[in-house]
Amino acid sequence: MIPVRSVLCALPISGRTILRTYATSATAPPIQLFGVDGTYASALFTASAKESTLPATDKALTSLSSLLSKEKELANVLGNPALSAADKKVVVDVLSKSVSSPTVSNLLSVLSDNNRLGLLPEIIAKFGTLMSAYSGEVEATITSAAPLDSKILTRIESAIAKSSFVGAGKKLKVSNKVNPDILGGVVVEVGDRTVDLSISSKIARLNTLISEAV
């Protein structure tokens, strides 16, 4: 049995059941997300909205996110496909008690049953995106090879705010992420949309064209 300290997250309940149950709810996520993590996050949002527990669910997930950051062994446990049924039960029980949220406990059960515990960090992030959209915020991440000057960041933020990526009446929340691997230029992510204007991307496209021409 895995030690309690290393226990991270799990989820029992059939994923298909929870999705079917809440797919008919009148309360839908504010924006469409893609990918398996987006599907789980959307189902969780709908379930929480139906039960009027969105703030509580958001708080519980924030707590789990903090736990994942502090417990470095947590990611390894969550992503271990060889966890036994007994270990998964320990994970679900411990995490459920730590957040005291029935809705999140159900999510953990679903992830456990479907061997998706490793997706928990991504699901938490996607749920955060949904909550931002729900409160009228649109999150945008600008990735650059080096920290951007405040004036340049403001200009890019202004351009994004005027684009079709941000709806009327929405508040734009921008963050600057640094990744030297892109070499230069920027990669702009708004919700599930990405505009890649990086030098590394341009080089990759050029190499493809050269390879096709040879």
Over residues 167-197, the pLDDT tens digits come to: 677 788 889 999 999 999 999 988 778 888 8
- Show the tokens assigned to 33: 């997300």
Could you list the beta-strand ranges (E) of 80-163.
137-144
- Show the tokens assigned to 137: 């915020």
Question: What does the pLDDT average to over 82-106?
Answer: 84
pTM for the whole thing? 0.61
Per the model's pLDDT, the better-predicted residue between 13 and 80 turns out to be 80
Q: How confident is the model at residue 25 (pLDDT cuts 50, 70, 90)?
A: very low
Question: What does the pLDDT average to over 188-213?
Answer: 83
Using DSSP, state whether 77 is helix, strand or coil. Answer: helix
Using DSSP, state whether 90 is helix, strand or coil. Answer: helix
- Asked if residue 112 lies in contact with residue 88, where contact means CB atoms within 8 angstroms, the answer is yes
- Residue 136's pLDDT is 82
DSSP string of 113-161?
HTT-GGGHHHHHHHHHHHHHHHTTEEEEEEEESSPPPHHHHHHHHHHHH
Q: How confident is the model at residue 11 (pLDDT cuts 50, 70, 90)?
A: very low
- Show the tokens assigned to 51: 């039960």
- Residue 17's pLDDT is 41
Cα–Cα distances in Å, from 166 out to 140, 155, 158, 190?
Answer: 10, 15, 11, 8
Query: Which H helix or E strand runs over 45?
Result: helix 35-50
Question: What does the pLDDT average to over 91-109?
Answer: 86
| Residue whose pair of structure tokens reads 């703030």 in the numeric block | 55
Question: What does the pLDDT average to over 68-91?
Answer: 79
Q: Is the pLDDT of residue 212 over 60?
A: yes
Q: How confident is the model at residue 24 (pLDDT cuts 50, 70, 90)?
A: very low
- Show the tokens assigned to 77: 């446990």
Mean pLDDT of the chain: 80
Dist CA 17 CA 1 (whole Å): 28
- Residue 214's pLDDT is 59
- Asked if residue 42 lies in contact with residue 130, where contact means CB atoms within 8 angstroms, the answer is yes
